[in-house]
Amino acid sequence: MNNKTPLPEAFLARIRKTFPLPEQEQLVQSLELPPISSVRINPRKTNINFPASQPVPWCKHGFYLKERPLYTINPLFHAGAFYPQEASSMFLWHILEQLLPKADREDIKILDLCGAPGGKASLIASLLDGQGLLVANEVIRSRAEILKENMLKWGAPNVVVTRSDPAKFTELSGLFDIMVVDAPCSGEGMFRKGDWARSQWSQDNTALCAVRQRRILQDAWPALKENGLLIYSTCTFNPEENEENLKWLVKKQMAEVLTLTTPSEWNITEIPVETGNGLAFYPHKVKGEGFFIAVVRKNEFQKPLSVRKPKKKSVITPTSDVAALLKYPQQFSFFENLNQWSAFPQKYESLLFLLQKQLDIINFGIVLGNQQRKKFTPALTLPFSWEFNNRFPTIDLDKEEALHYLKGETLLPKQGLPNGVVLLTYQNIPIGFVKNVGTRCNNLFPKNWRIRMEIDFS
Ligand SMILES: C[S@@+](CC[C@H](N)C(=O)[O-])C[C@H]1O[C@@H](n2cnc3c(N)ncnc32)[C@H](O)[C@@H]1O
């Protein structure tokens, strides 16, 4: 039985006006079908194949699942070994692969402006594979925390997570080579994912979304360098929020919409926009949810920021024990703030200072741990970094043990386990630390990441 909120009348009227018969019916019918589940694996952590999964054609790490599993009870989800991501959104992988040859990724700076919960940001991090720099931003406080959690779990060392309004980026003149604006939108492409998008939708709201998207684009535009690329996407079908916004942008700025081509068997629809196109993903044609994506090149001069070495050096030299927590410590600069030590790719050390002046940074690079009175305590999130060089005693847990741990329970030490910090893994992928105090192992899985749901272990 379908007990979803009915599709809004004004939305249906627009679809009838835009699409010929029988396509309008096919599109509307497809919105009543269950959504398609898919995941993208973290190639730095695993090469797991999901049972009975099929590859997503445009993203080599993406897989369609037969049915939606309960991700919460899969320890690999908590380990950052995969990310549940809607398949159409993974098209960003294909675009970046086309636009950014491997050789050009070494010093590329990418901004993901509307980043939470982190689907696109973790995809970009995988594509960069530790090269270049990613600034993943989210303006809404609670959502920024989720972005931070997901990026920490994903484990890339070259990411700065920020919580700033797009207007804060205006000052970062010409800093980014690529800017991804996955804009907040009216969410029509999510209509089959549940009632929320349907009940929020109104014609007034779609108009408000379009205005907000223009403001975001306008604010962030100066931060894109000359010849830089803006990748604009939404999960809506509404032309006002998609092609109309792009037309507005190229009229206002010296910019050019690029032409994207895709194999015909992918069934992606090309929508002409000025001299180029945008790509629309319609759920009656594509195995994925509704999505729109386009690329715009900036053709105007943008004075680049000069990134100078700061006068006051707050970079520290770590002890050899601390440096040894990383696989390649020589590639990193080390920082101290309120006894917390962090590592960040050395070549972006000066840039980090500059970002700190302008943006609200909530995490950067790898948090290593706390140094107090000559005693170093590793950070609870360190095991999730793919640069982590494990030198702790390690225990691989079975699924049930791992879930008890992820719920925050105290574990009993196995015989022969030395006292002190112990790394726990599941399928040999780190899931966190415990501290063995002899009679018990204190749980060091970050409190706000713990599973709160009841799990039936019987
Ligand atoms: C479509 S979602 C982003 C999804 C994300 N890129 C991903 O792939 O997981 C849009 C994001 O924009 C944020 N947002 C809302 N209002 C905003 C504003 N005025 N400026 C910038 N971002 C905003 C929302 O909180 C939301 O997280």
143-169 per-position pLDDT tens digit? 999 999 999 999 999 999 999 999 999
Cα 40 off chain centre by: 11
Whole-angstrom distance, CA of residue 225 vs CA of residue 237 = 29
Task: Calculate how far, in angstroms, residue 322's C-alpha sits from the geometric centre of ligand 1.
Answer: 36
Task: Calculate how far, in angstroms, residue 111's C-alpha sits from the geometric centre of ligand 1.
Answer: 13
- The answer to whether the CB of 83 falls within 8 A of the CB of 122 is yes
Task: Calculate how far, in angstroms, residue 5's C-alpha sits from the geometric centre of ligand 1.
Answer: 24
Domain 392-458, second-level architecture: Roll (3.10)
Does ligand 1 have an atom closer than 6 angstroms to the CB of 326? no
Alpha-carbon distances, residue 236 vs 23, 253, 310, 442 (angstroms) = 17, 24, 44, 47
Atom of ligand 1 lying closest to residue 185 CA: 1
Whole-angstrom distance, CA of residue 118 vs CA of residue 146 = 8
Percent with pLDDT over 70 in the chain = 99
Q: How confident is the model at residue 1 (pLDDT cuts 50, 70, 90)?
A: very low
Atom of ligand 1 lying closest to residue 116 CA: 27
- The answer to whether the CB of 435 falls within 8 A of the CB of 422 is yes
456 is in an annotated binding site: no
> What is the average pLDDT across 291-303?
97
Task: Calculate how far, in angstroms, residue 137's C-alpha sits from the geometric centre of ligand 1.
Answer: 9
- The answer to whether the CB of 408 falls within 8 A of the CB of 447 is yes
User: Range(s) for CATH 3.40.50.150 in the chain?
Assistant: 9-298
* Residues linked to residue 180 through DSSP beta bridges, in sequence order: 112, 231
Does ligand 1 have an atom closer than 6 angstroms to the CB of 187? no
The pLDDT of residue 313 is 64
Whose structure tokens read 């993903």? 281
Q: How confident is the model at residue 194 (pLDDT cuts 50, 70, 90)?
A: confident
For atom 16 of ligand 1, the residue with the nearest CA is: 184
- The answer to whether the CB of 288 falls within 8 A of the CB of 88 is yes
Does ligand 1 have an atom closer than 6 angstroms to the CB of 138? yes
Return the structure tokens found at 32.
């009543």
DSSP 3-state assignment of 13? helix
Sorted by sequence, the CB contacts under 8 Å of residue 175 that are 6+ apart come out as: 109, 111, 223, 225, 304, 305
Of 31, 168, 176, 205, nearest to 109 by C-alpha is 176
Backbone φ and ψ for 164, nearest 5 degrees, come out as -130, 150
* Straight-line distance from the first to the last Cα atom of the chain, in angstroms, rounded to the nearest whole number: 31
> To test the ligand 1 pocket, which listed residue (124, 139, 141, 163) has its Cβ within 8 A of the most ligand atoms?
139
Q: Which amino acid is at 336?
A: E
Whose structure tokens read 């800017």? 179
For atom 2 of ligand 1, the residue with the nearest CA is: 184
The answer to ipTM > 0.95 is: yes
Atom of ligand 1 lying closest to residue 180 CA: 6
Does ligand 1 have an atom closer than 6 angstroms to the CB of 124? no
For atom 27 of ligand 1, the residue with the nearest CA is: 116
- The answer to whether the CB of 393 falls within 8 A of the CB of 423 is yes
> To test the ligand 1 pocket, which listed residue (114, 145, 216) has its Cβ within 8 A of the most ligand atoms?
114
Secondary structure letter of residue 255 according to DSSP:
E
Task: Calculate how far, in angstroms, residue 381's C-alpha sits from the geometric centre of ligand 1.
Answer: 25
Task: Report the predicted TM-score, pTM, of the whole model to 2 decimal places.
Answer: 0.97
244 is in an annotated binding site: no
Does ligand 1 have an atom closer than 6 angstroms to the CB of 119? yes
User: Range(s) for CATH 3.10.450.720 in the chain?
Assistant: 392-458
CA angle 127, 131, 133 (to 5 degrees): 90
Task: Calculate how far, in angstroms, residue 185's C-alpha sits from the geometric centre of ligand 1.
Answer: 8
* Residues linked to residue 345 through DSSP beta bridges, in sequence order: 332
Domain 9-298, second-level architecture: 3-Layer(aba) Sandwich (3.40)
The pLDDT of residue 24 is 97
Does ligand 1 have an atom closer than 6 angstroms to the CB of 343? no
Of 104, 97, 116, nearest to 362 by C-alpha is 116
Largest Cα–Cα distance of the chain, in whole Å? 74
Task: Calculate how far, in angstroms, residue 144's C-alpha sits from the geometric centre of ligand 1.
Answer: 10
Tell me which of 114, 209, 235, 441 is the catalytic residue. 235
- The answer to whether the CB of 350 falls within 8 A of the CB of 308 is yes
Sorted by sequence, the CB contacts under 8 Å of residue 5 that are 6+ apart come out as: 195, 198, 199
> What is the average pLDDT across 40-59?
88
Task: Decide which of 429 and 314 is more confident.
Answer: 429
Q: How confident is the model at residue 259 (pLDDT cuts 50, 70, 90)?
A: very high
Task: Decide which of 310 and 335 is more confident.
Answer: 335
Counting Cβ atoms within 10 Å, is residue 346 exposed (0-12), middle (13-18) or buried (19+)?
middle
Does ligand 1 have an atom closer than 6 angstroms to the CB of 35? no
Does ligand 1 have an atom closer than 6 angstroms to the CB of 182? yes
Backbone φ and ψ for 17, nearest 5 degrees, come out as -75, -30
The pLDDT of residue 308 is 80
Whose structure tokens read 């009841």? 454
Q: Is the predicted pLDDT of residue 223 greater than 70, yes or no?
A: yes
Return the structure tokens found at 376.
């170093």
- Please compute Rg for the chain using Cα positions: 23
Does ligand 1 have an atom closer than 6 angstroms to the CB of 118? yes
Whole-angstrom distance, CA of residue 362 vs CA of residue 137 = 10
Does ligand 1 have an atom closer than 6 angstroms to the CB of 116? yes
The pLDDT of residue 2 is 57
The pLDDT of residue 309 is 76
Is 209 an annotated catalytic residue? no
Residues in the chain: 458
Sorted by sequence, the CB contacts under 8 Å of residue 310 that are 6+ apart come out as: 350, 353
Q: Which amino acid is at 4?
A: K
Alpha-carbon distances, residue 251 vs 219, 273, 330, 443 (angstroms) = 16, 12, 47, 57
107 is in an annotated binding site: no
Sorted by sequence, the CB contacts under 8 Å of residue 414 that are 6+ apart come out as: 395
